[in-house]
């Protein structure tokens, strides 16, 4: 995060001593509060004003999207439609994706222009659980269910997955909770037992649940309450 005096100096091509003079005169506000500390740190979402004129202002964006099948979890793709293509907002090209879903998987995706926020949610230490509904071509055995709980070895990477929760809802329907997101992880875990996954739908990320009013391809901004709940969950998990 840059210092405020350096930011002003760069924005207006003035000497840093002149920027400090502006601060001393009380002519600069950050997020509506008069700033006088030359070493004050700001970020890209800080609203900085000089004599009431906005110097810089970028709005933080946090969206949930109900991804349909047949859409790529990417910002740009030369062959297929992307989740960004589903959006109509003029600032959509500022966004990036927080956690991906496979091409034919559906459900909750998060998008933002706040890199610090997305990194925090993606850190392994956050242990942020992702909740999925899956349909299968045949029922898993008790051994398969127990293996999910213990972790499954992936020979190609030479790693064992973190313990996952598998709960059967019916003979061919299940709930799966993961705290990581390896390549085609759910399909590969079931594949170890000769089971084919027919569909994957993500219902929740941590405490954040997919809005049932969002049709496939629909999106909305997260509420203040949802953002606070995610922040609290990630803080508790990492402490």
Q: Which residues pair with 2 in a beta bridge?
A: none
Q: Where in the chain is the domain with CATH 3.10.290.10?
A: 4-56
62-238 has which fold? Pseudouridine synthase (3.30.2350)
In the CATH scheme, what is the homologous superfamily, with its name and number, of domain 4-56? RNA-binding S4 domain (3.10.290.10)
SS3 content of the chain, % helix, strand, coil (to 5): 30, 30, 45
Please provide the size of the chain in residues. 239
pLDDT at 167 over 90: yes
pLDDT at 237 over 70: no
Mean pLDDT, the chain, whole residue set: 90
pLDDT at 226 over 90: yes
pLDDT at 145 over 90: yes
pLDDT at 16: 87
pLDDT at 195: 97
DSSP string spanning 131-182?
EEEEEESSPPPHHHHHHHHH--EETTTTEEPPP-EEEESSSSEEEEEES---
pLDDT tens figures, 85-126: 999 998 999 899 998 999 999 999 999 999 889 988 887 667
Which pLDDT band holds residue 218 (cuts at 50, 70, 90)?
very high
pLDDT at 124: 66
Q: Where in the chain is the domain with CATH 3.30.2350.10?
A: 62-238
Report how far residue 215's alpha carbon sits from residue 129's, in angstroms, rounded to the nearest whole number.
Answer: 23
Query: Euclidean distance between the first and final Cα of the chain, in Å?
Result: 24
Residue 94, token pair as written in the block: 């500022």
CB 3 within 8 A of CB 38: yes
Q: Which residue has the higher pLDDT, 126 or 153?
A: 153
Q: Which residue has the higher pLDDT, 190 or 123?
A: 190
What average pLDDT does this structure show over 60-82?
A: 94
Q: Report the share of the chain in percent with pLDDT over 90.
A: 61
pLDDT at 5: 85
pLDDT at 154 over 70: yes
pLDDT at 221 over 60: yes
Catalytic annotation, residues: 102
CB 132 within 8 A of CB 186: yes
pLDDT at 116: 87
The residue ranges of DSSP E strands in the chain, in sequence order, are 28-30, 33-34, 48-50, 53-56, 62-67, 96-98, 106-112, 130-136, 153-154, 159-160, 165-168, 173-178, 197-205, 208-209, 219-221
**H/E stretch holding 187:** helix 185-191
Burial class (CB in 10 A: 0-12, 13-18, 19+), 152: buried
Tell me 97's DSSP state: E
pLDDT at 233: 76
Using CA atoms, how far residue 234 sits from 99, 123, 125, 207, in Å, is 15, 9, 8, 10
């Amino acid at each position: 995060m840059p210092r405020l005096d350096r930011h002003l100096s760069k924005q207006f091509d003035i000497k840093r001593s002149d920027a400090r003079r502006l601060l001393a005169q009380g002519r600069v506000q950050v997020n509506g509060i008069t700033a006088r500390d030359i070493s004050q740190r700001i970020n890209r979402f800080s609203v900085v004003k000089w004599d009431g004129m906005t110097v810089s202002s970028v709005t933080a964006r946090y969206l949930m999207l109900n991804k349909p099948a047949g859409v790529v979890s990417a910002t740009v793709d030369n062959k297929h439609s992307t989740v960004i293509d589903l959006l109509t907002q003029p600032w959509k090209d500022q966004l990036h994706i927080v956690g991906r879903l496979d091409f034919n998987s559906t459900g909750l995706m998060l998008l933002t222009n706040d890199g610090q926020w997305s990194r925090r949610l993606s850190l392994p230490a956050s242990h942020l659980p992702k909740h999925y509904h899956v349909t299968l071509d045949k029922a898993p055995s008790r051994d398969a269910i127990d293996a999910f709980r213990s972790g499954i070895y992936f020979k190609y990477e030479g790693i064992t997955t973190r313990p996952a929760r598998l709960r059967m809802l019916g003979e061919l329907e299940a709930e799966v909770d993961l705290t990581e997101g390896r390549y085609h992880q759910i399909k590969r875990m079931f594949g170890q037992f000769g089971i084919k996954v027919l569909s994957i739908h993500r219902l929740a990320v941590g405490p954040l649940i997919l809005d049932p009013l969002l049709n496939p391809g629909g999106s909305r901004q997260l509420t203040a309450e949802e953002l606070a709940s995610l922040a609290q969950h990630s803080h508790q998990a990492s402490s």
